[in-house]
Structure 1
Amino acid sequence: MKLAGIHHVALIASDYPRSRDFYTRILGLEVVAEHFRAERQSWKLDLRLPDGTGLELFSFPAPPARPSRPEARGLRHLAFRVAALDPAIAHLQAQGVACEPVRVDEFTGRRFTFFADPDDLPLELYESG
């Protein structure tokens, strides 16, 4: 088997309108499709990054919280590649999104920072240069 890349990442939101706004308006992801699934009382929003990678945003009635901290097994965070870190941080901060202090990857020398989505999912911006 030879994997060709990541097709999509799926997230479940506790507050669908708030998360929809965050991922579309603040992060600028493109809306591909949006459907309400009445039988599940659930929204499904298909989003796309510029490189074609998909992000699916779901809502479900009363989803249980998934702890992000302390770090545990499973998905740790979702990282987005940006050409320049400083303008991306400035954009997030202008929208009221707090970012951690910039760090440098000790192996690649690339700069990165972490921030959180409305459900406190750890997100990373990684400067590709």
Structure 2
Amino acid sequence: MFSVSHIHHIAIICSDYGVSKHFYSELLGFEIIKETYRETRQSYKLDLAINETQQIELFSFPSAPARPSYPEAQGLRHLAFAAQDLEACIKHLNQHGVITEAIRVDELTGKKFTFFADPDNLPIELYEA
């Protein structure tokens, strides 16, 4: 039987490693677990802890192709994080120059949520916990 307990990690390939490293570690506050420069690939791999069980792997590759379109391209649509205080998170992002969409309400759950973009325009959702 196939059985999983949780998502272990989400892998993101960025276009500007320094900018994305700052965004995810400093602005979003994810803890750096390990940073590795891989000489043979001329790329970085940064492991970031979201919590005790989930991580983000941030990669840089010299010639990675751009995302084909936003946001309705086939494939992963967006990354969503649960937020205890949605308004406080939005205020923090806005104070650091990150534009957030207007708060919406999920018609199925009644929970509030919003979207914003990372430095590579990857759509990120904050969903009321």
1:1-129 matched pairs, under 5 angstroms: 1-128=2-129
Q: Secondary structure at the match of 1:86?
A: helix
SS in 1 for 2:26: helix
Query: For the residues of structure 2 that align with 1:46 and 1:68, how far apart are their CA atoms?
Result: 26
AA in 2 matched with 1:121: L
2-structure distance, mates of 1:37, 1:113: 36
What SS class does the counterpart of residue 53 from structure 2 fall into? coil
RMSD, matched Cα: 0.9
Retained in 1: the 8 A contact 2:71–2:123?
no
**Deviating more after overlay: 44-53 vs 5-14:** 44-53
User: Unaligned stretches of 5+ in structure 2?
Assistant: none
CA positional deviation for 1:41: 0.2
2:47 and 2:70 mapped to 1: Cα distance?
27
TM-score, with normalisation over the residues of structure 2? Answer: 0.96
Letter paired with 1:118? P
Larger CA deviation: 70-79 vs 89-98: 70-79
Write the letter of the residue equivalent to 2:3: K
Q: How many corresponding residue pairs?
A: 128
Q: Which runs of 5+ in 1 are unaligned?
A: none
The two structures have a TM-score, normalised by structure 1, of 0.96
Percent of pairs identical after alignment? 55
Q: 1:52 Cα shift?
A: 2.5
Question: What is the rounded CA distance, in whole Å, between the counterparts of 2:83 and 2:107 in structure 1?
Answer: 18
- Deviation of the 1:62 alpha carbon: 2.1
After TM superposition, the structure 1 stretch with the greater mean CA deviation from structure 2, 51-60 or 10-19, is: 51-60
| Distance in 2 separating the partners of 1:36 and 1:124 | 29
Letter in 1 for 2:93: L
Instruction: State the distance in 1 between where 2:91 and 2:3 align.
Output: 38
